[in-house]
Amino acid sequence: MSTLELVQTLKKDNGRVWNVSWHPKGESFASCSEDKSIRIWAKDGSKYTNKVVLTDGHKRTIREVAWSPCGDFLASASFDATTCVWDKKNGEFTCNVTLEGHENEVKSVAYSSNGLHLATCSRDKSVWVWEVAGEDEYDCVAVLNSHTQDVKKIVWHPSKEILASASYDNTVKLFKDDVALGEWVNSNTLHGHESTVWSIDFDATGERIASVSDDKTLKIWKEYPPGNPEGIPTEDKESAWKCVCTISGHHMRTIYDVTWCPLTGLIATACGDDAIRIFKEENGCDPNAPTFNLVATVERAHSQDVNCVSWNPKTPGLLLSCSDDAEIKVWKFKE
């Protein structure tokens, strides 16, 4: 019997905590809140404590924070339509870059795996790709207007320059830099969810995506490259993406976030029914129709909606969550 055990509860913010993000070294993390602050937490002995509070970057809710792969930069996306990039060059965290351009709320921000690109998305329906041109220099290289509604979340492929986005238009889209055309293009659109797709995550290989939605389902999508042995048709030498598994009947309300652990393969979800659920793929199942079993549920993980879950990148089974109840929790998955 697997369990998710509570390790620590952290509370400093006033109001909803929207997002938590592990530093790539896995020893500290950042959180952001509707109180317009970013907090950085690190271990003091065995407990995490709040080390830094950043309050002077944004005028409205901070929706998401993301570390660069080198761990030296922290980007923050805000409802004030800007994205800030913070660094510690002067000894303490300061905002040295403010990226403007979105018409309204920026909902998500992420660095590509090699750190050369930053992507942002907004209620203005667009996804922007920025090139990290130098220290404190970011050039917008693409404004992608493929979604027909609010874009909720973006994530990069774990090793390639491929970007995935989730939207209020019920789809997931993939984008990549088409070298022949010399521009970023929308290569795939994943249809299947019946309402807003709130979040997505790649697995360790980047060949599968997990998506969660207001339709209360978790879906697994698989890439079928050109010439795949299964005979799934592809077009224009582009991979096809197919939904290979839909997990329904577990979540009772909107699912707000999903995290797919690159170390263990476990999937965790954050739900509007206050619960955190852990899913595990059955050993030896058909990759074209995999089975994911619910292996642990914490029914009242928080006293209100769970907004975000995040697996630690270095320690298997260590999970962070945050909620509308203003709390951040640290959990340990035990098999």
Partner 1 sequence: MFLSFLRKKLGKDPEDKVKNVCKDSTELKDTVYDLIRTIKDPEKPNTLEELNVVYEDGVEVKEPTLGKVDVIRVEFNPTVPHCSLATLIGLCIRIKLERNMPYPIKLDIYIKDGAHTTEHEINKQINDKERIAAAMENPNLKEMVENCILEED
What does the binding site for partner 1 look like in residue numbers (CB under 8 A)? 16, 34, 60-61, 63, 79, 104-105, 107, 123, 150, 152, 168, 195-196, 214, 252-253, 272-275, 297, 299-300, 303-305, 324-325
Nearer to partner 1 by Cβ, of 39 and 123: the residue is 123
Closest CB 202 distance from partner 1, rounded Å: 22
Tokens of 23: 């530093």
Tell me the closest approach of the beta carbon of residue 153 to partner 1, in angstroms.
11
Q: How far is the CB of 123 from partner 1 (least distance, A)?
A: 7
Task: Give me the least distance between CB of 104 and partner 1, in Å please.
Answer: 8
Give the whole-angstrom CA distance, residue 95 versus residue 56: 8
Closest CB to partner 1 among residues 201, 325? 325
Task: Tell me the C-alpha distance between 132 and 118, whole Å.
Answer: 7
Sheet containing 162-167: order of strands:
151-156, 162-167, 172-178, 183-190
Q: How far is the CB of 68 from partner 1 (least distance, A)?
A: 25
Q: By C-beta, is 56 or 299 nearer to partner 1?
A: 299
Identify which of residues 51 and 300 has a Cβ nearer to partner 1 in the complex: 300
Cβ contacts of residue 198 below 8 Å, gap of 6+? 152, 153, 166, 212, 213, 214, 254, 255, 256, 257
Nearer CB in complex with partner 1: 214/223: 214
In angstroms, the Cα distances linking 19 to 39, 117, 173, 177, 307 are 11, 21, 22, 28, 7
Q: Quick check: 221 and 244 in contact, CB under 8 A?
A: yes
Residue labelled with tokens 């761990």 = 71
Beta bridge mates, 67: 74
